[in-house]
Chains A and B, each alone.
Chain A
Amino acid sequence: MFMILGYPAPLMFGQLLLGLINGAFYALLSLGLAVIFGMLNIVNFAHGALFMLGAFVAWGLLNFLGVNYWFALLLAPLIVGVFGVLLEKTLIARLYKLDHLYGLLLTFGLALIIEGLARNEFGSSGVPYPIPSLLQGATNLGFMFMPIYRGWVVLASAIMCLITWLIIEKTSIGATLRAATENAPLVQAFGINVPRMITLTYAGGVALAAFAGVLAAPIYSVNPNMGANFIITVFAVVVIGGMGSILGSIVTGFGLGVIEGLTKVFYPQGSSVVIFVVMVIVLLVRPAGLFGKAA
């Protein structure tokens, strides 16, 4: 059998792919968190719950309305985004003048409520969501067999990250967003409705989480804990990439997914802590994160 560094190649590539898939979710989730944190200065602890909500919305759309996966990929982020508008307007908007801690408490409470309601309704074991027929099966890449859906997840996540990055870095809307992140009162004094922009930014951030939720639905069972399982790691990713850094969350998300996957090959016992070890090292060397600007 073909070996790499004394390990069988299929094992290596298999874990690499799993790492990339996890990385795809880390990147999408931490990207949304970064966008929200940059603009609202709030660490959105409800992010994992909204990721889970995205998956459940896709499941509901399929089972009650017969809306297929592809439309759910579009509709679920939209629906969760509208829910985000409600959350921001009615609750989060009241906290901007208060200490960070209040934002943390509120969004953490929201996460518990949303996850609790889901558990009440669906139980802890979750519900299945089928892989869309177009993406079933596997393909032979020559060096390994790759399930097509898993390849699609990596591709879709990368495309969505790229689109988000392009919007923020290369368009005039993105320039306004970056400017408002730096100095919101001045941007508002130029005639821009900053409160509305903040609302839409929150909606956009949680829509990214819901998009990730739909992508995740066919891989993991759609269950109330699926967000909570991810979110702790995602916060580590955000800290490593640098709070609020767009590029940082994308690169770190994918990168750490791969590191985690490879650790499963070389030192399986360490795979669940490796991201946190990286976090400790990065914080020691660069307290603002790999891509963060020192405050």
Chain B
Amino acid sequence: MPDAMLEVPMLEVRGLNAWYGESHILHGVDFDVREGEVVTLLGRNGAGKTTTMKSIMGLVPRREGKIAFKGQETVNLRSDMIARAGIALCPEERGIFASLSVTENLMLPPVIAPGGLDVATIHALFPNLKERANSQGTKLSGGEQQMLAIARILRTGAKLLLLDEPTEGLAPVIVQQIGRTIREIKQRGYTVLLVEQNFRFAATVADRHYVMEHGRVVDMIPNSELSANMDKLHDYLGV
């Protein structure tokens, strides 16, 4: 892609390897995310999607290779420094804190750069979070917890958001709301790397899709060519 050569990608991952103890999970992952894009990682369970997200965020015990954010190498940085550089994670298990109220959960991640959403905008996007501001974080419904997990990283000014399976286990109406949210934050200039099992949902929000298998990226499909590649994708995902 000649146009990608001209600019430094927002996130450039090359030859990424990651381990949990003795088990070698990622075997040389390569992909790029350009500024303003929504890019998904698709793949079966155990393909290494979540480990890729955690490696970018500095949350795996051992990783090697290149993870450049805006041209800056981050593979040797501690996770708090990676966050300070401008990357934020919405983890698969959502990570809502039981000992914190909804508002405390929302306000927990420190603002690392100007340009994040203010609380009023967040409450307009997610009215439920305003209504239940004083509830215990984990007393929210699954959908509300997911909203909270996304909302709290929109506040920080981080411009690259890693969303790990935000639709997992949620009712269709909530999934649609999350889809609207992702399109909205894309319009506001955020860049999103999204892990998804559900490629029908992914197709409604993403620009490009990377397919992972056995700890590697094996294919890249632009969203516009998704329908032409349906058979291939069914093979990859085993659906």
A contacts, CB < 8 Å to B: 172, 175-176, 178-179, 181-183, 185-194
| Known contacts A176-B108, A179-B108; is-contact A191 B91 (Cβ 8 Å) | no
User: Which residues does chain B contribute within 8 Å of A189, judged by CB atoms?
Assistant: 57-59, 79-80, 82-83, 89
B29 to chain A, nearest CB (A): 19
Question: 1/0 per position for B134-171, CB-CB distance to A under 8 A?
Answer: 00000000000000000001001000000000000000
Q: Is B189 an interface residue (CB 8 A)?
A: no
Give the distance in Å from the alpha carbon of A185 to the alpha carbon of B82 in the complex.
Answer: 13
Give the distance in Å from the alpha carbon of A194 to the alpha carbon of B112 in the complex.
Answer: 16
Give the distance in Å from the alpha carbon of A121 to the alpha carbon of B91 in the complex.
Answer: 55
User: Which residues does chain A contribute within 8 Å of B78, judged by CB atoms?
Assistant: 188
Question: 1/0 per position for B4-41, CB-CB distance to A under 8 A?
Answer: 00000000000000000000000000000000000000
A44 to chain B, nearest CB (A): 21
B193 to chain A, nearest CB (A): 15
Q: Is B88 an interface residue (CB 8 A)?
A: yes
A sample of 6 more A-B contacts (CB under 8 A), given A172-B107, A189-B57, is A178-B99, A179-B100, A182-B98, A186-B95, A188-B80, A191-B112
User: Which residues does chain A contribute within 8 Å of B73, judged by CB atoms?
Assistant: none
Q: Is B104 an interface residue (CB 8 A)?
A: yes
User: Which residues does chain B contribute within 8 Å of A175, judged by CB atoms?
Assistant: 100, 104, 107-108
- Which chain A residue shows the least CB distance to B78? A188
Give the distance in Å from the alpha carbon of A214 to the alpha carbon of B53 in the complex.
Answer: 50
Question: 1/0 per position for B80-113, CB-CB distance to A under 8 A?
Answer: 1011100011010001011110001101111010
User: Which residues does chain A contribute within 8 Å of B112, judged by CB atoms?
Assistant: 191
B8 to chain A, nearest CB (A): 23
- Which chain B residue shows the least CB distance to A196? B80
User: Which residues does chain B contribute within 8 Å of A181, judged by CB atoms?
Assistant: 99
Q: Which of B80, B97, B105 lies in contact with A191, CB distance below 8 A?
A: B80
Give the distance in Å from the alpha carbon of A260 to the alpha carbon of B118 in the complex.
Answer: 53
Q: Which of A178, A179, A183, A191 lies in contact with B83, CB distance below 8 A?
A: A191
Give the distance in Å from the alpha carbon of A106 to the alpha carbon of B79 in the complex.
Answer: 29
A191 contacts B84, CB within 8 Å? yes
What would 7 A/B residue contacts be, using CB atoms closer than 8 Å? Answer: A182-B99, A185-B79, A186-B91, A190-B83, A190-B153, A190-B156, A191-B84
B196 to chain A, nearest CB (A): 21
User: Which residues does chain A contribute within 8 Å of B95, judged by CB atoms?
Assistant: 183, 186
A179 contacts B97, CB within 8 Å? yes
A190 contacts B110, CB within 8 Å? yes
Closest 8 CB pairs of A and B: A191-B83, A190-B109, A175-B104, A189-B79, A178-B99, A179-B97, A186-B95, A188-B80
User: Which residues does chain A contribute within 8 Å of B107, judged by CB atoms?
Assistant: 172, 175
Q: Which of B104, B108, B156 lies in contact with A187, CB distance below 8 A?
A: B108
B164 to chain A, nearest CB (A): 12
| Known contacts A175-B104, A175-B107, A187-B108; is-contact A192 B80 (Cβ 8 Å) | yes
B44 to chain A, nearest CB (A): 25
A191 contacts B99, CB within 8 Å? no
User: Which residues does chain B contribute within 8 Å of A179, judged by CB atoms?
Assistant: 97, 99-100, 104-105, 108
A191 contacts B156, CB within 8 Å? yes
B159 to chain A, nearest CB (A): 14
B86 to chain A, nearest CB (A): 10
User: Which residues does chain A contribute within 8 Å of B110, judged by CB atoms?
Assistant: 190-192
A164 to chain B, nearest CB (A): 16
Give the distance in Å from the alpha carbon of A186 to the alpha carbon of B100 in the complex.
Answer: 14
A97 to chain B, nearest CB (A): 10
- Which chain A residue shows the least CB distance to B112? A191
Give the distance in Å from the alpha carbon of A173 to the alpha carbon of B59 in the complex.
Answer: 23
